[in-house]
């Protein structure tokens, strides 16, 4: 007689009304604390300069204005930076999807000598902090002439262990019969992967795409190192970092918050629409791993 | 599983293996090799001159090179320990809040918590630098409302590092909450029913069922949290530049400053090797500790 999952946890049985009120209050507090910085960011971006310098602070702008956003556009090339970020994140994501699906398929569906060893070696790189490879990588990318360019940001990131791991987990669940039937029909392995296997693991592909896109939209250390001051190629996160030094102190609060809001919006919008995939894939990477 | 597709396996693996080999494994080996060499990052690898363990003697020596590195190592250790010590218990608490079914809104809470994980760290750093602002910042204003004196936050050597830990916790805790929820869903409800019949109260159930069965999840979370914590860079690069008085000089920031900005590639690589070794030791110790507990 086991109850359905979730109905029978530590916090859940025969709780008196007072306990429920306490629980609800606690949940509300946590949600408010979590949401506060971003809400404050948006509100501050809509204030006038005078309002953002006022002490004690004004929480809600009396007459919301987009002045701060105009000023951001005057200090940094917002359009260009957003475009650069979009190019970096999209191409990197596309590359990661293709390389991860191919390698994930090989690890899930072929047996070949050294398979476990190779998989473990690749998986180990997942736990390597990027700073460990930064210095030689910077030199390598420079010596093949890719520094100070978008290509230099993109090319080293076109494959990663997390993607391979995730794809292998999900492709392993695709029935062999499905693949064998296609082989009988004379389909090539690449065709089988992209036409037959891919649709059956579409949610995992969506999750990986979103993870990769958000990660590379947000990425800062590598682009900063590779670009070395080439402002034309700056992604939005680097342009944004220059807003802080533009004008120290409370003067620039609105400006900085408007810039931050612009950079935060694309990942948050993606998340709002597709959070189910994000959460599912994290859970599967933790539970199956 | 299919045999006889070795050629296909080669083709399927080639792109990923080549890219990871060239852009991750090769630079990792180069880092190890460079750590035994005197090398300027401005010059080709062929200019590297073998110096044995000199770089390691320098970074652990008593000159400013050694003092700065040891300071960064200690700061990173403190930062990592604090992050893990705060994130893990909070992730379990928040996980229970999302997972319970007495009060609605759990899924909404999960969404709010997890959304911060999508925010670029650079934006987090910018927003929090203003939240922490000593005079007009909202945190000190709110503390004032409940009668607490304004805090110096990022501007004092005593509180700057913990202030950066807090913004990191805010950004990451949602991710670890989702991991905790994944762990909670794995615990069979029948265990709690049996415990209730045996007269165990809620605290006892948490201690003897929930926590032990979450151990694998918590180990995984701890490893990920440690790896994430040593990567802290944006708030330091953007706001504190390692200060005040070196109190937020953490390894990722310090290694980049030495190895890229000052172009001391050999020294920076030796520091990176020490970071890698420290991580291996800490993660192995964690696994050993957990498997010993399993035996008990």
Provide the pLDDT confidence category of residue A287 given band limits of 50, 70 and 90.
Answer: low
Q: What is the C-alpha end-to-end distance of chain B, expressed in Å?
A: 38
Element (DSSP H or E) covering residue B49: strand B49-50
Structure tokens at B296: 């008990």
In the predicted model, is pLDDT for residue A285 greater than 80?
Answer: no
* Inter-chain touch B16–A164, beta carbons under 8 Å: yes
Architecture of domain A74-288: Orthogonal Bundle (1.10)
Which chain B residue has its CA at the smallest distance from A42's CA? B127
Peptide bond into B244 cis (omega under 30): yes
Provide the pLDDT confidence category of residue A174 given band limits of 50, 70 and 90.
Answer: very high
Distance of alpha carbon A264 from alpha carbon B121, whole angstroms: 10
Q: What is the mean pLDDT of chain B?
A: 92
Residue carrying the six token digits 């000190």: B140
CB A27 within 8 A of CB B93: no
In the predicted model, is pLDDT for residue B63 greater than 70?
Answer: yes
* Inter-chain touch A218–B120, beta carbons under 8 Å: yes
Distance of alpha carbon A256 from alpha carbon B291, whole angstroms: 48
* Inter-chain touch A6–B99, beta carbons under 8 Å: yes
Assign 3-state DSSP to chain A and report helix, strand, coil percentages, each to 5.
75, 0, 25
Distance from CA of B91 to the nearest CA of A (A): 12
Comparing CB atoms, the residue among A55, A131, A136 nearest residue B135 is: A55
User: Considering only CB atoms, which chain A residues are within 8 Å of B130?
Assistant: 44, 253, 256-257
Residues B93-142 have pLDDT tens digits of 999 999 988 888 888 999 999 999 999 999 999 899 889 988 778 898 88
User: By the CB < 8 Å criterion, does A288 face chain B?
Assistant: no
* Inter-chain touch A2–B15, beta carbons under 8 Å: no
Residues A224-255 have pLDDT tens digits of 999 987 888 999 999 988 887 665 555 678 88
What SS3 state is found at B50? Answer: strand
Comparing CB atoms, the residue among A27, A263, A272 nearest residue B109 is: A27
* Inter-chain touch B138–A287, beta carbons under 8 Å: no
Comparing CB atoms, the residue among B19, B130, B233 nearest residue A99 is: B19
User: Considering only CB atoms, which chain B residues are within 8 Å of A271?
Assistant: 114-115, 118
Q: What pLDDT, on the 0 to 100 scale, is given for residue A286?
A: 64
Question: A147-151, A272-276, B246-250, B289-293 — which one is most confidently predicted on average?
Answer: B246-250
Mean pLDDT of A100-124: 94
Residues B148-207 have pLDDT tens digits of 888 899 989 999 999 999 999 999 999 999 999 989 988 888 888 899 888 888 888 888
A98-to-A152, A190, A209 alpha-carbon distances in Å: 19, 11, 10
In the predicted model, is pLDDT for residue A266 greater than 60?
Answer: yes
Provide the pLDDT confidence category of residue B1 given band limits of 50, 70 and 90.
Answer: very low
Q: What pLDDT, on the 0 to 100 scale, is given for residue A6?
A: 42
Among A268, A251, A204, A285, residue whose Cα is nearest residue A67: A251
Among B243, B208, B42, B238, residue whose Cα is nearest residue B128: B238
- Which burial class, exposed, middle or buried, applies to A42 when counting CB atoms under 10 A from its CB (0-12, 13-18, 19+)? middle
Q: What pLDDT, on the 0 to 100 scale, is given for residue A65?
A: 85
User: Considering only CB atoms, which chain B residues are within 8 Å of A14?
Assistant: none
> Domain segments of chain A: what residues?
18-65, 74-288
Residue from A15, A17, A21, A135 whose CB has the most chain B CBs within 10 Å, to mutate: A135
Residues 182-241 of chain A with CB under 8 A from chain B are: 189-190, 193, 214, 217-218, 220-221, 224-225, 237-238, 240-241
Q: Going from the N-terminus, what domains does chain B have, and what CATH number goes with each?
A: 67-295 (1.10.3720.10)
In the predicted model, is pLDDT for residue B73 greater than 90?
Answer: yes
The pTM score is: 0.91
Among B4, B13, B19, B18, residue whose Cα is nearest residue A190: B13
Structure tokens at B62: 């008593």
Peptide bond into B175 cis (omega under 30): no
Among A283, A3, A14, residue whose Cα is nearest residue B191: A3
Distance of alpha carbon A150 from alpha carbon A16, whole angstroms: 59
Q: What pLDDT, on the 0 to 100 scale, is given for residue B36?
A: 98
**Contacts across the A-B interface (CB distance below 8 Å):** 339
Residues B246-292 have pLDDT tens digits of 999 999 999 999 999 999 999 999 999 999 999 999 999 998 888 87
CB B192 within 8 A of CB B209: yes
Q: What pLDDT, on the 0 to 100 scale, is given for residue A249?
A: 58
CB B11 within 8 A of CB A115: no
Structure tokens at B116: 């911060």
Among A210, A40, A126, residue whose Cα is nearest residue B118: A210
Residue carrying the six token digits 């109905």: A7
Residue carrying the six token digits 């399993």: B294
Buried b (16+ CB within 10 A) or exposed e, A57-90: bbeebeeebebbbebbeeebbbebbbebbeebbb
Distance of alpha carbon A164 from alpha carbon B291, whole angstroms: 28
Comparing CB atoms, the residue among B41, B118, B283 nearest residue A267 is: B118
Q: What pLDDT, on the 0 to 100 scale, is given for residue A151?
A: 95
Q: How many CB atoms lie within 10 A of CB A32?
A: 11
- Which burial class, exposed, middle or buried, applies to B243 when counting CB atoms under 10 A from its CB (0-12, 13-18, 19+)? middle
User: By the CB < 8 Å criterion, does A73 face chain B?
Assistant: no
CB A218 within 8 A of CB B121: yes
Distance of alpha carbon B76 from alpha carbon B59, whole angstroms: 15
Comparing CB atoms, the residue among A34, A176, A243 nearest residue B112 is: A34
């Amino acid at each position: 007689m086991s109850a359905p999952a979730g109905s029978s946890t530590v916090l859940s049985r025969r709780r008196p009304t007072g306990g429920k009120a306490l629980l609800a209050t606690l949940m509300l507090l946590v949600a408010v604390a979590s949401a506060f910085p971003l809400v404050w960011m948006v509100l501050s971006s809509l204030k006038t300069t005078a309002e953002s310098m006022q002490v004690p602070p004004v929480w809600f702008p009396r007459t919301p204005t987009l002045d701060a956003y105009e000023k951001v556009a005057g200090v940094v090339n917002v359009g260009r930076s957003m475009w650069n970020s979009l190019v970096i994140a999209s191409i990197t994501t596309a590359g990661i999807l293709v390389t991860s699906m191919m390698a994930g398929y090989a690890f899930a569906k072929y047996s070949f000598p050294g398979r476990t060893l190779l998989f473990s070696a690749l998986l180990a790189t997942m736990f390597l902090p990027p700073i460990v490879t930064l210095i030689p990588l910077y030199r390598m990318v420079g010596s093949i002439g890719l520094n100070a360019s978008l290509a230099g940001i993109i090319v080293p990131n076109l494959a990663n262990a997390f993607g391979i791991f995730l794809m292998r987990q999900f492709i392993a669940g695709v029935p062999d019969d499905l693949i064998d039937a296609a082989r009988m029909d004379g389909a090539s392995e690449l065709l089988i992967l992209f036409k037959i296997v891919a649709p059956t693991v579409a949610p995992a592909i969506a999750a990986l795409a979103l993870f990769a896109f958000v990660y590379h939209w947000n990425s800062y250390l590598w682009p900063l190192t590779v670009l070395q001051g080439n402002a034309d190629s700056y992604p939005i996160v680097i342009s944004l970092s220059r807003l802080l030094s533009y004008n120290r102190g409370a003067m620039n609060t609105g400006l900085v918050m408007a810039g931050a809001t612009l950079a935060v919006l694309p990942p948050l919008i993606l998340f709002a629409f597709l959070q189910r995939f994000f959460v599912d894939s994290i859970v599967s990477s933790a539970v199956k791993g | 599983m299919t045999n006889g597709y070795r050629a296909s396996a080669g083709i399927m693996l080639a792109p990923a293996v080549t890219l990871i080999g060239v852009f991750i494994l090769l630079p990792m080996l180069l880092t190890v090799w460079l750590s035994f060499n005197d090398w300027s990052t401005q010059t080709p690898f062929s200019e590297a001159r073998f110096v044995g363990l000199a770089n390691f003697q320098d970074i652990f020596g008593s000159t400013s090179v050694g003092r700065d590195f040891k300071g960064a190592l200690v700061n990173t250790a403190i930062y990592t320990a604090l992050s893990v010590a705060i994130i893990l218990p909070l992730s379990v608490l928040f996980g229970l809040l999302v997972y319970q079914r007495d009060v609605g809104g759990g899924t909404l809470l999960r969404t709010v918590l997890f959304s911060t994980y999508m925010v670029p760290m650079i934006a987090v750093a910018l927003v929090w630098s203003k939240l922490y602002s000593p005079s007009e910042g909202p945190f000190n204003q709110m503390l004032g409302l409940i009668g607490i004196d304004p805090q110096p936050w990022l501007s004092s050597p005593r509180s700057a590092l913990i202030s950066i830990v807090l913004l990191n916790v805010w950004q990451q805790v949602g991710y670890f909450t989702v991991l905790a929820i994944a762990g909670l869903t794995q615990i069979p409800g029948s265990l709690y029913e049996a415990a209730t019949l045996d007269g165990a109260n809620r605290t006892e159930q948490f201690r003897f069922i929930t926590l032990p069965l979450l151990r694998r999840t918590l180990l995984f979370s701890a490893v990920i949290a440690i790896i994430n914590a040593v990567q802290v860079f944006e708030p330091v690069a953007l706001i504190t530049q390692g200060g005040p008085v070196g109190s937020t000089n953490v390894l990722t920031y310090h290694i980049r400053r030495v190895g890229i900005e000052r172009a001391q590639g050999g020294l920076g690589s030796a520091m990176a090797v020490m970071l890698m070794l420290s991580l291996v030791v800490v993660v192995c110790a964690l696994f050993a500790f957990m498997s010993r507990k399993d035996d008990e």
